[in-house]
Amino acid sequence: MIITQLKAGLANQLFQYAVGRRLAHHLGTELKYDVVGTFRLGDFNIQAEKATPEEIQQVLSKHGALGIEKVVPEELYLFMPEMLDYPDDVYLRGYWQCEKYFVDIADIIRQDFTLHDTHTHKGRRQRRGISKKFARQNVRFHFMFDAAIMLRGLSWNCSAAPISLTITSALPN
């Protein structure tokens, strides 16, 4: 079992889920999630269930005697290729904002990120709700998204040094 910690906003949780999904898919095991804060993926067709406290404890205690890291923390927001080869029964904690973690199952991730019932009246309401969630995100989110697209166009890779930017806006908080 792979348990991925979901925290922060919708975009962060999409990356966190995708990394956990890739590792679970590669290992042929189930994916569970542990929510810190608000769960934001409920409108999507994700293939995971919430981990129980017992399951979290089971994963955290499983490898201790073997000396294997049972909690996989992301280090410095850089791509960690060794993470792709971790064994079963790990707890993933980080933001994992690099497509290299899941590019090999991109079609599966795209399917998981489709909305429920998009052709029904309820589905259209859900889709509008998701759009409003994104619209309520601050300018920083949109800038980061645009910057990521720009950097990808410049063949930027996830192992490059972090970029530090200061953004100011006249918009209210």
Distance, in Å, from the CA atom of 81 to the CA atom of 98, rounded to the nearest integer, reads 11
pLDDT at 127: 59
Q: Give the domain ranges of the chain.
A: 1-173
**Cα dihedral sign for 18, 40, 144, 74?**
negative
Cβ 56 vs Cβ 70: under 8 Å? no
pLDDT at 38: 94
Say what angle helices 121-136 and 10-27 make with each other, to 10 degrees. Answer: 120
Q: 43 to each of 30, 58, 118, 127, how far by Cα in Å?
A: 20, 29, 10, 8
Which pLDDT tens digit goes with each residue over 102-127? Answer: 999 999 999 999 887 655 555 566 55
> What are 81's two structure tokens?
């290729």
pLDDT at 55: 93
Which pLDDT tens digit goes with each residue over 44-59? Answer: 999 999 999 999 988 8
Mean pLDDT along residues 3-9: 94
> What are 59's two structure tokens?
């994963």
